[in-house]
Structure 1
Amino acid sequence: MSFEKLKIIEPILKALRNEGYSNPTPIQEQSIPIILQRKDLFGCAQTGTGKTAAFAIPVLQLIHEHKQTVKQPNTIKALVLTPTRELAMQIQESFEAYGKFTGINHTVVFGGVSQWTQVNALRRGVDILVATPGRLLDLINQNVVRLGDLKLLVLDEADRMLDMGFVNDVKKIIAKTPRQKQTLFFSATMAPDIRRLADSLLINPLKVEVTPVATTAETIQQAVCFVEKKNKPALLLHLLTNTDIPMALVFTRTKHGADRVAKELNRSGIRAEAIHGNKSQQARQKALHQFRLKQIKVLVATDIAARGIDIDELSHVINFELPNVPETYVHRIGRTGRAGASGIAISFCDREEKAYLKDIQKLTSCLIPVEGDHPFKDAPVNNDLRKQARTPYEMAKPKPAKRFSRDNKRPGRFNTRVVQ
């Protein structure tokens, strides 16, 4: 099916053609007609399925049609709430790309930066506002933002907003909106608390679920490396220097851990930056920009970035530490293998994390293959990355025969050996 068959208006179709889009993804194919009928929607889809376009395209069209029939000053007619700054900016970029020929005004507001520029943009008038809950609530309390004319409300990554403790802010914001509005609710999981929140917001919603809950994309080849905790840094350096990994997104559980891994990689001659909640917005955007341009090889992130980073052709995700919440694993590795592309996800697992691995495999109904052919499985090694990279073993041993890289015969696949 093409976008034309979804009855998308020509200004948006023109923008989609400019972006190289011709056929919608399953979530887009199912969601767009429902939204254009002005019905409430509960969408459940894993990350990387084209969910942003699934709501951005019809929201732009509905606002465009409204402006053609109702002449009024630019007031906020659509609000998109999302949990992180990175994700808010990416949604704003999507509205800019798809709506460039519609004449619709949109902006984004988030915390961590001065509100001066954001306030000026709001005072000039916007039709669509993308926001994180904390900053938006601040602006509402300052009477800078008024939501009395709102026609559309979108809650994106609703489960993540609950995990991050935004539920009370979200409820306060929703209380400022009109009772009569169309609400779109998107979540990657369907936990009981998510269902309760959706039931309280949606009116006779239609449900779209394009994949089983908490499944990983088939295009991602997964592997797990059992390794002692103290040997994880050496194994990471081994992979980055002895295998064909052009760029990698590395996940840690803590902010301190992300800083430590990035620092050690830089000491070992591999350019890396850390991104987490304690970093300023300017520093985070700079790191993301450098990573996109491949000026740095490794971006080390905490889970705040698990759903907020969208890098074209990201080949590898490495879980330096397994998450203690199994759904987070799905979101992490979903940063690769996007839009039908292939990707590789490698996870390090120490003895304390084996319970986490078991939960992940139970959730995803997938037995992750074990990669046992690495030098740090059993033997203790020096934890200093700089020294480890210069051991006689590392200097003498040739690079592995693409055990952690693309297979020449089967592009995009991952060579692994299952250890019984």
Structure 2
Amino acid sequence: MSFSSLNLSSALINALPSAFKVPTDIQSQSIPVLLKGDDLLAIAQTGSGKTLAYGLPAVEKCLADGETSQTNNEDNLTTIIIVPTRELATQVCSDLDSIAQQVNVKIIKLSGGVDREQQVEQLQEKPNIIVATPGRLLDLIQTNTLAIETVERVILDEADRLLDMGFWPDIQTILSKLPSKKQTVMYSATLPPELSERINSQLNQPSYVQVGEANQVVDNIEEQLFLVNKGSKTKALIQQIQSSDWSQVLVFISAKDSADGLSKKMAKAGIKCAALHGNKDQLDREQILEQFKDKSIQVLIATDVLARGIHIEQLPVVINFDLPSDPTAYVHRVGRTARAGQQGLAISLVCHGETGYLEAIRKNTQRNLAVQTLAEFPVTDKPSSGESKRAPRDKKANRRTNNKTSIKQFSKKSRSPRQSK
């Protein structure tokens, strides 16, 4: 199948980068539905080409309706794309804008961490498509800064992540303020029960598209898991990086403070690295990500702010410094490699305290995920028995202490026989 067989205009097809020769499965199944105007729920594995799957029909609709910068139509905002993170907003906007500019369709990004007044000025350019994070979008709508009367379609990318991050109340408010007659589209890599319940109330007789199984890791990723002592993880990570010839390594870690600390330790080992997480301001986050993409730094240590949607060209390896507590996050983390049909490697460093997380990941992905050991780092930690290490008498002593209500009850015990005379 070719892009021309999907009822896309020749102008739009000619604007596609030369690397896009044939549509991916999610693109070939989604584009006809979206061009028809139906609501859609699409489930597809990460790295399957979802951005163009919804982006090309949005641009095509602008062309078909004559809603471009060459017209005199001042109310020409037709599409809003909502994403969970600033980084994903930047990437989606960049990916689509490189195509849209060639056909005179205007796209802008609205997100937090950027001067609000600067974005208000951008709105004066009368964009056709807006890519936005929920908080900033809702703010501009509620203050009547953004006119939404002409919006014809709203697209929720990474819908499950929007739910996970607590954005759903904002999403519901945004959808309620948009015109009632609109096309609503949701893309997600997973479909948790909570999302299914909310989808039923927001989509109108939707079409359903699924490519691959939900919660599944793509076949092109080789997964390796190593059991190590908790205290040996940093040395094991450094050894893995220094003994390999990886041009880039994306390391996922759960805590923001831990990301900064690990970055410092790796820098001392002579590894060019940086940490990226939600506590850094937006300019720093953008600069660090660009440095990683252009290989100015070899290793990027990131929290799950980078687990969704971010595309790093030909990223060879992803390493989980620790396992995520949410099993679906594992799928998204490792999905940063092996994108667009390429091969990739995903390594996880697992300690005994994370076996519960590992079992949840195995159940979620329906994969065996056998754990190996590293010869250089023998495992000496013991699995937790689940029992308290505190002696029973210590617990009794605590109960006696908690039952004391008078200062005299404490002082009697503290005085020696000689002092009490």
TM-score class normalised by the smaller sequence: 0.7 to 0.9
**Corresponding residue for 1:348?**
349
Output the CA distance in 2 between the equivalents of 1:2 and 1:358.
Answer: 42
Aligned equivalent of 2:43: 44
1:148, 1:176 within 8 Å by CA — same for their partners in 2? no
Secondary structure of 1:311's match?
coil
Read off the aligned partner of 1:46 and give its amino acid letter. Answer: Q
List gaps (5 residues or longer) in structure 1. 381-420
Mapped to 1, the partners of 2:268 and 2:144 lie a distance apart of 49
Q: Which residue is equivalent to 2:78? A: 77
* SS of aligned partner of 2:65: helix
- Given that 1:306 and 1:328 are in contact with CA atoms closer than 8 Å, whether structure 2 keeps it comes out as yes
Distance 2:319 2:362 in 1: 17
Residue identity matched to 1:76: L
Is 1:15 equivalent to 2:3 in the alignment? no
* Alpha-carbon distance between aligned partners in 1 of 2:280 and 2:368, rounded to the nearest angstrom: 36
- Going from structure 1 to structure 2, the CA distance change for 1:374 and 1:76 (only over 3 Å counts) comes to farther
Q: In the alignment, residue 283 of structure 1 is paired with which amino acid?
A: D
Structure 1 distance, partners of 2:217, 2:330, is 9
CA distance in 2, matches of 1:373, 1:332: 22
Q: Is 1:35 aligned to 2:34, yes or no?
A: yes
1:182-201 matched pairs, under 5 angstroms: 182-201=183-202
CA distance in 1, matches of 2:112, 2:191: 28
Aligned counterpart, 1:209 = 210
The 2-side partners of 1:33 and 1:218 are apart by 27
Q: Tell me which amino acid in the other structure corresponds to 1:50.
A: G
1:407 alignment counterpart: none
Following TM superposition, by how much is the alpha carbon of 1:256 offset from its aligned partner in structure 2, in angstroms? 0.6
Q: 1:309 Cα shift?
A: 2.3
Q: Distance in 1 between matches of 2:61 and 2:339?
A: 28
1:84 is displaced (CA, Å) by 0.2
Output one character per residue of 1:369-411: Cα deviation in whole Å (capped at 9) or x when no partner.
Answer: 333243113268xxxxxxxxxxxxxxxxxxxxxxxxxxxxxxx
Mapped contact 2:253–2:302 kept (Cα < 8 A): yes
Q: Distance in 2 between matches of 1:374 and 1:67?
A: 65
Query: Is it true that 1:293 corresponds to 2:294 in the alignment?
Result: yes
SS in 2 for 1:124: coil
Q: Report the alpha carbon displacement of residue 304 of structure 1 after superposing the two structures with TM.
A: 1.5
> TM-score, with normalisation over the residues of structure 1?
0.88
Paired residue total? 379
- Tell me the CA shift for residue 197 of structure 1: 1.6
Mapping of residues 320-339 of structure 1, within 5 Å: 320-339=321-340
1:19 and 1:200 map into 2 onto residues whose CA distance is 40
**Residue 62 of structure 2 corresponds to which residue in structure 1?**
63
C-alpha displacement of 1:98? 2.2
* TM-score with structure 2 setting the length: 0.88
Structure 1 letter corresponding to 2:15: A
Query: 1: distance between equivalents of 2:221 and 2:278?
Result: 27
CA contact 2:88–2:308 (8 Å) conserved in 1: yes
| Cα separation, 2, equivalents of 1:377 and 1:214 | 32
Could you tell me whether the CA contact under 8 Å between 1:319 and 1:347 is conserved in 2? yes
The aligned runs of 1:316-395 (5 Å cut-off) are 316-378=317-379
3-state SS of paired residue (1:195): helix
Instruction: Give the drift of 1:128.
Output: 0.5
Contact 1:74 1:125 in 2 (8 A): yes
User: Within 5 A, what are the aligned runs for 1:20-419?
Assistant: 20-67=19-66, 72-378=73-379
Q: Indicate the larger mover: 64-73 or 282-291.
A: 64-73
After superposition, the Cα gap between the structure-2 partners of 1:245 and 1:180, relative to the gap in structure 1 and judged at 3 Å, is same
Residue-by-residue CA offset, 1:159-212 (whole Å, 9 max, x unaligned): 101111111111111111011011111111111111122111111100000011
Query: Are the structure 2 counterparts of residues 322 and 199 from structure 1 closer, same or farther at C-alpha, using a change threshold of 3 Å?
Result: same
8 A Cα contact 1:19 1:97, kept in partner: no
- Alpha-carbon deviations, 1:354-373, whole Å to 9, x = none? 11111111111111233324
In terms of mean alpha carbon deviation, does 236-245 or 65-74 score higher?
65-74
Contact 1:275–1:300 (CA<8 Å) still a contact in 2? yes
Structure 2 residue matching 1:99: 3-state secondary structure: helix
What is the letter of the counterpart of residue 325 of structure 1?
A: D
Taking the aligned partners of 1:43 and 1:118, their CA distance within structure 2 comes to 30
Contact 1:79 1:153 in 2 (8 A): yes
Q: Percent identity?
A: 39
Question: Structure 2: how far apart are the matches of 1:254 and 1:241?
Answer: 24
Amino acid at match of 1:237: I
Report deviation, 1:100.
2.5
Deviation at 1:268, TM superposition (A): 1.1
- Aligned mates of 1:366, 1:44 — CA distance in 2: 19
**Secondary structure of 2:178's partner?**
coil
Q: How far apart are the structure 1 equivalents of 2:39 and 2:66?
A: 21
Q: CA deviation digits over 1:6-49, x for unaligned, max 9?
A: 12111211111x34211011000100010011111100112111
Q: Which runs of 5+ in 2 are unaligned?
A: 382-421
Question: In structure 2, what residue type is equivalent to 1:212?
Answer: E
Whether the 8 Å contact between 2:46 and 2:309 is mirrored in structure 1 is no
